[in-house]
């Protein structure tokens, strides 16, 4: 018996997951390797599972009151992980999932027709949410230096000078796997102050930095920056609780928080609190540091396996240097395959399901994103299939 902190693969028997069972159903391939959908093949940590079972045993699944322990757990987590000391009772507001949180923030920080800057390539939901809610997307491409993505301050300034009202960042960044450094974040913050724009920071992957890599929230740089920032947080990616649909924001500006709660009221979200999510968060932030340390080590190992394999056996493709998340961002452009067909061809020929980078905006065409949060056996099998694919097309 372990202490609940060990890393275990989930037993697939009887499960219905988008990443595996749905893709097997859709494609008809029993030997399919699912590396697209962004969740983990590891069991959520035992303290979270126990907390959920305890709630169920009590038998009350009605509207919950959020206990003080919830705010205390978040405060201590942010202080422990990032050295960020906030007044949690005044600065935290829960919501029903990271993108519901995002929409409520966009609703507060912008109005229809406003321009919003995003750093691409980035998860396709950013642009889709902006465009479908009658705002205007301004794509600011990241740049690669020696295989490592970073922010181009000159490009950002050009975007802001066009009249943008909001910068929406992803930290750590999906799909390129970068936890932005204080220096990189300060460059964004300085321009935000110069052009008097607000910042929305999606920090949903903040717990998944590799060992030795520090997560820095942009709002922690200074009180002035915090007052123009809304930070999106959740246990969903870090502790594999995406289906609980629970999230929270950090907003230290009282006026922003007031408007945010009014936006939630416009959607009648005050009563849409998932009781399981509340107590899963408390368990995660109080009792799962050992489990998370194991996850971080495994994700770094899996990423390195992919990077090393590609360098040694598939030199015509390259893996972006990463320090966080469970993504390997792979440049397939030298193969000359139509970017619109890239995922389809990999799926049809090799039975691998990646995420097609084409949907990630400028800088994503010709790339794929592989989810590394799986078994080492799946990683090796996927690499062998990818090698076979590249030899056929190289």
Segment 21-43, tens digit of pLDDT: 999 999 999 999 999 999 999 99
pLDDT in tens, 108-130: 999 999 999 999 999 999 999 99
Q: Distance (Å, rounded) from C-alpha 194 to C-alpha 187?
A: 11
Q: Are 47 and 285 in contact (CB under 8 A)?
A: no
Q: Is residue 370 helix, strand or coil?
A: strand
Per-residue pLDDT at 1 = 37
pLDDT score of 295: 98
> What structural domains and CATH numbers belong to the chain?
18-40+289-393 (3.90.1150.10), 50-287 (3.40.640.10)
Question: What confidence tens digit (pLDDT) does each residue in 285-313 have?
Answer: 999 999 999 999 999 999 999 999 999 99
Q: What is the mean pLDDT of residues 361-389?
A: 98
Q: How would you class 174 by CB atoms within 10 Å of its CB: exposed for 0-12, middle for 13-18, buried for 19 or more?
A: buried
The beta-strand segments (E) located in the chain are: 33-34, 92-95, 115-120, 136-141, 143-145, 148-150, 166-170, 198-202, 229-233, 247-250, 318-319, 327-331, 352-353, 355-356, 367-371
- DSSP secondary structure of 224-289: HHHHTEEEEE-STTTTT-GGG--EEEE---HHHHHHHHHHHHHTT-TT---HHHHHHHHHHHHH-H
Q: Which two tokens stand for residue 120?
A: 């691409």
pLDDT at residue 46 tops 70: yes
Percent of the chain with pLDDT over 90: 96
1-11 average pLDDT score: 80
pLDDT tier at 3, thresholds 50, 70, 90: low
pTM for the structure as a whole: 0.97
Residues linked to residue 233 through DSSP beta bridges, in sequence order: 248
Q: According to the model, what pLDDT value does residue 5 have?
A: 87
């Amino acid at each position: 018996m372990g202490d609940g902190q060990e890393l275990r693969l989930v037993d697939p028997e009887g499960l219905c997951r988008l990443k595996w069972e749905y893709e097997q159903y859709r494609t008809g391939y029993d030997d399919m390797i699912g590396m697209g959908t962004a969740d983990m093949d590891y069991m959520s940590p035992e303290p979270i599972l126990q907390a959920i079972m305890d709630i169920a045993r009590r038998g009350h699944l009605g509207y919950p009151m959020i206990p003080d322990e919830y705010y205390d757990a978040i405060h201590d987590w942010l202080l422990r992980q990032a050295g960020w000391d906030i007044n949690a009772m005044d600065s935290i507001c829960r919501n029903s999932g990271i993108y519901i949180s995002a929409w409520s923030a966009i609703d507060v920080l912008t109005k229809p027709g406003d321009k919003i800057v995003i750093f691409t390539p980035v998860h396709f939901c950013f642009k889709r949410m902006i465009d479908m809610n009658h705002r205007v997307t301004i794509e600011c491409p990241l740049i690669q230096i020696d295989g490592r993505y970073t922010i181009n301050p000159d490009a950002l300034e050009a975007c802001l000078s066009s009249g943008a009202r909001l910068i929406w960042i992803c930290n750590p960044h999906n799909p390129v796997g970068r936890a932005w450094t204080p220096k990189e974040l300060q460059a964004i913050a300085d321009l935000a102050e110069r052009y008097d724009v607000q910042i929305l920071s999606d920090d949903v992957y903040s717990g998944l930095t590799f060992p030795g890599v520090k997560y820095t929230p942009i709002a922690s740089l200074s009180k002035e920056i915090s007052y123009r920032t809304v930070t999106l947080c959740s246990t969903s990616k870090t502790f594999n609780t995406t289906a609980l649909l629970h999230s929270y924001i950090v907003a230290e500006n009282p006026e922003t928080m007031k408007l945010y709660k009014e936006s939630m009221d416009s959607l009648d979200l005050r009563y849409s609190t998932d009781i399981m999510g509340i107590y899963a968060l408390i368990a995660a932030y109080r009792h799962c540091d050992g489990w998370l340390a194991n996850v971080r080590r495994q994700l770094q190992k899996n990423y390195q396996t992919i990077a090393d394999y590609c360098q040694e056996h598939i030199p015509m493709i390259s893996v972006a240097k990463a320090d966080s998340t469970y993504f390997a961002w792979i440049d397939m452009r030298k193969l000359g395959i139509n970017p619109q067909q890239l995922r389809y061809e990999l799926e049809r020929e090799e039975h691998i399901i990646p995420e097609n980078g084409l949907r990630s905006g400028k800088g994503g065409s010709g790339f794929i994103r592989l989810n590394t949060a799986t078994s080492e056996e799946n990683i090796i099998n996927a690499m062998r299939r990818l090698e076979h694919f590249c030899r056929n097309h190289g």
